[in-house]
Amino acid sequence: MLLAMLVGGALSVAGAGMQAVFGNPLAEPGITGVSAGAAVVAVALIVTGLVGATSWLLPVGAFVGAILATAVVQAVGYGRARTSTASLLLVGMALNAFLGAVTSGLIANADDAEDSRSAMFWLNGDLTGSTMADVGMVAVPILVGVAGVMYFGRELNMLALGEATAQSAGVNVRLVSNLVLGFAALAAAWSVAATGIIAFVGLVVPHLVRLLLGVDHTFLLPACFLLGGIFLTAADTAARMIFNPIVLQTGTLTALVGAPFLLYLVLRWRSPR
């Protein structure tokens, strides 16, 4: 439960921060390539057997992959994200496709079938077998990442009004954007390292919180952390019990919930106003 609260909260805050920076309601760690970047390095460590060398190697490697993916998305998609939402989505889709191909290639060529199976299980995301050691390993970097995003709540409010408005109010847009994305990547990467890829939490929860509390990020971000933790805890419980005796992985259930929600957002976006 502690791990679910930390990971769910971290992914939700990271998603809310990315949506504000990119000016894009569909941005979240999975769509923008952060999770895929972390996955490539993590899977490489698993299939090569290096992950057993030290417990810290997997999360550190996942963080490096996430940071690199964030840098690519920022460099290619950031400049046009505010004027063309499709540009950011296309950059994220292209990066996800490329990194997904690399990940598939690593798994297909794993020397040990058990390593390949472990990588596939990890990619679907699950909290089974989590211990207090896992919580202790990721708690500090996740909380640092979450606190870093929350620190810029007022600046994110300015960014939501437009880059020009934020600059006129004295916000260093480039610096704030880089820092928010870095902290979001830190929180998301360590979350992914602990549980595997948990999809759509960072997309669904921020929108639910906006419906309940509005768009003020000084309230939105803490609420995202709380509701995100509750959401993932409930999803993990449902994955274990709702289809009993069949047990689904947590990431599978969040994808089953999140994918229709994403489709709803796309259709709502395209509908006449």
35: nearest Cα among 55, 62, 5: 62
> What's the CA gap between 50 and 94, in Å, rounded?
28
Rg (CA), the chain: 18
> What's the CA gap between 81 and 88, in Å, rounded?
5
Quote the pTM value.
0.85
Helical H segments across 196-216, by residue range: 201-213
The CATH number that domain 2-270 falls under is 1.10.3470.10
pLDDT tens track, the chain, 273 positions: 999 999 999 999 999 998 888 777 878 887 777 788 888 988 888 888 777 667 678 777 877 887 788 778 767 765 554 444 456 667 777 888 899 899 889 888 888 777 787 787 778 788 887 888 888 888 999 999 999 999 999 999 998 887 778 888 888 888 888 888 889 888 988 888 788 888 889 988 998 899 888 889 999 999 999 999 999 999 888 888 887 777 778 888 888 887 887 787 777 765 554
Q: Where are the domains of the chain?
A: 2-270
Structure tokens at 79: 């400049």
Greatest pairwise CA separation for the chain in angstroms = 58
